[in-house]
Chain A
Amino acid sequence: EPEVTQTPSHQVTQMGQEVILRCVPISNHLYFYWYRQILGQKVEFLVSFYNNEISEKSEIFDDQFSVERPDGSNFTLKIRSTKLEDSAMYFCASSDGTGPPDTQYFGPGTRLTVL
């Protein structure tokens, strides 16, 4: 069964450093998403991406965040200058958009630890 993959599984960084989280969505999917989950809290929507542009973003997704689909398979989330409060699990998801409804499939996540 096709699945979303994410690398790395765990990233440790110093405050102020840039990090890039990588995702490989399911191959025939057209819509891509990033969510995050701070330890013990809810899963929060960050951004959706379609046709090489952002469809929607949340208040969390400020100027420090950016997304990119650099080639036909990868989807990345960049945090330019990490803060302590960016420590969380980051989940990538994808969907094929052939709904309704639209079913999103999530990756295993990247645990980001900012020191």
Chain B
Amino acid sequence: LAKTTQPISMDSYEGQEVNITCSHNNIATNDYITWYQQFPSQGPRFIIQGYKTKVTNEVASLFIPADRKSSTLSLPRVSLSDTAVYYCLVALYSGGYNKLIFGAGTRLAVHP
């Protein structure tokens, strides 16, 4: 499984756009990039996933350059409730399931 590197922590203010970049230099051809969010004492919550280019849903956007060695999670206009840990994961889809390997994640603090 490809190793991921992301900032340990970030600070932002309400209403700002937040971009969290994850490096995954050893990503393999069949790997997908997935982001999860976790609040204290809660289970990880799926945010978004993609393979290449750009993916957007109602919560976030995910930008993946052509070489796929990094990805950027973009959260538009964050609010206090977006304060959480954000995990970037690279997972091989092995015909039914993939084992998720979580790193330390990025601890995002949104300030008033």
- Taking a contact as CB atoms under 8 Å apart, the answer to whether B41 and A111 are in contact is yes
A43 to B85, CA, bound (A): 12
The digit string for A25-48, where 1 denotes a CB below 8 A from any CB of B, is: 000001101010000001111001
User: Which of the candidate stretches B7-15, B62-70, B72-80, B98-106 sits at the interface with the other chain?
Assistant: B98-106
Number of interface residues of B (CB under 8 A): 25
- Taking a contact as CB atoms under 8 Å apart, the answer to whether B44 and A101 are in contact is no
- Taking a contact as CB atoms under 8 Å apart, the answer to whether A106 and B44 are in contact is yes
- Taking a contact as CB atoms under 8 Å apart, the answer to whether A44 and B102 are in contact is yes
- Taking a contact as CB atoms under 8 Å apart, the answer to whether A42 and B102 are in contact is yes
- Taking a contact as CB atoms under 8 Å apart, the answer to whether A91 and B104 are in contact is no
**9 A-B pairs, CB-CB below 8 angstroms?**
A30-B96, A43-B38, A56-B99, A97-B97, A100-B32, A106-B45, A107-B43, A108-B42, A109-B42
15 additional A-B residue pairs with CB within 8 Å, beyond A30-B96, A42-B103, A48-B97: A4-B43, A42-B104, A43-B87, A45-B101, A50-B96, A56-B99, A93-B100, A99-B32, A100-B30, A100-B32, A100-B93, A101-B32, A101-B98, A103-B34, A109-B43
